[in-house]
Chain A
Amino acid sequence: GQSLEQPSEVTAVEGAIVQINCTYQTSGFYGLSWYQQHDGGAPTFLSYNALDGLEETGRFSSFLSRSDSYGYLLLQELQMKDSASYFCAVSPNNAGNMLTFGGGTRLMVKP
């Protein structure tokens, strides 16, 4: 089976940088994704990493280390609107290939 660990809550101030970590255990691995969900809203896709290294998309970056079964989401120049829950998800490399999600990290950005 698959399991993912990420912190339940993180607090940071506007303008700061925050890193949300995700470690995973899976019987097979294809890639690591990140999703953002605001209260009352739908999860929205942020990034996908299949290879080791850093992927940058504007203020958000995502990192993957396959050998360490570890990844993180880096948010820079934090804004109040970044307050949301962030989920990591793994794509297992087996038949079906459905996403398995972590429990989510609630990010609170303070002024």
Chain B
Amino acid sequence: ETGVTQTPRHLVMGMTNKKSLKCEQHLGHNAMYWYKQSAKKPLELMFVYSLEERVENNSVPSRFSPECPNSSHLFLHLHTLQPEDSALYLCASSQDGRGVGGYTFGSGTRLTVV
């Protein structure tokens, strides 16, 4: 149990499907993040929300759409994905964006696009 819970753990979807990834934290953190982890590549920051406002987009394709309804919940809506989007999607939260106290990561959603 990491304090950050992600669902589902595994997801297989077709290129025309619409699905959503969910992340939940009850650590009282102010910032939440979506990272993409692909094989043999560094963790890539996708989106950041600080106090429920998006502060970083990082040139992510529009087929990925984040939503942060409150400070404890974060969603990643997926639509018309490509096979190269198959990866581990990690959610994280932190009190300090600079990482002084560390980021707390969820276990991730393993996404496969077929």
* Number of interface residues, chain A, beta carbon within 8 A: 25
State the Cβ distance, B93 to closest chain A Cβ, in Å. Answer: 12
B90→A43 contact, CB < 8 A:
yes
Max count, chain A CB within 10 A of own CB: residue among B35, B48, B92, B100? B100
Known A42-B90, A98-B33; judge A31-B48 contact (CB<8 A): no
Check: B59 CB closer than 8 A to any chain A CB.
Answer: no
A50→B45 contact, CB < 8 A:
no
A98→B42 contact, CB < 8 A:
no
- 1/0 per residue, CB under 8 A from B, across A32-58: the answer is 010100001111110010100000000
B45→A102 contact, CB < 8 A:
no
* Number of interface residues, chain B, beta carbon within 8 A: 26
Check: B86 CB closer than 8 A to any chain A CB.
Answer: no
Stretch at the interface among B13-21, B66-74, B76-84, B104-112: B104-112
**Bound Cα distance A97, B56 (Å):** 10
B56→A45 contact, CB < 8 A:
no
**Bound Cα distance A59, B42 (Å):** 26
Closest to A103 in B: B42
B102→A45 contact, CB < 8 A:
yes
Please count the residue pairs between chain A and chain B whose beta carbons lie under 8 angstroms apart in the complex.
67
**Bound Cα distance A45, B104 (Å):** 7
Check: B12 CB closer than 8 A to any chain A CB.
Answer: no
Other-chain contact of B45, A31, A43, A87, A100 (Cβ < 8 Å): A100
**Bound Cα distance A82, B74 (Å):** 31
Chain B residues closer than 8 Å to A87, beta-carbon distance = 42-43
Closest to B40 in A: A103
Check: B103 CB closer than 8 A to any chain A CB.
Answer: yes
Known A98-B33, A103-B42, A104-B42; judge A42-B107 contact (CB<8 A): yes
State the Cβ distance, A43 to closest chain B Cβ, in Å. Answer: 5
**Bound Cα distance A40, B92 (Å):** 16
Check: B99 CB closer than 8 A to any chain A CB.
Answer: yes
Q: Which residues of A contact B (CB under 8 A)?
A: 4, 30-31, 33, 35, 40-45, 48, 50, 87, 89, 91, 96-104
A-B contact pairs, 5 of them (CB 8 A): A33-B102, A35-B102, A35-B103, A40-B107, A102-B42
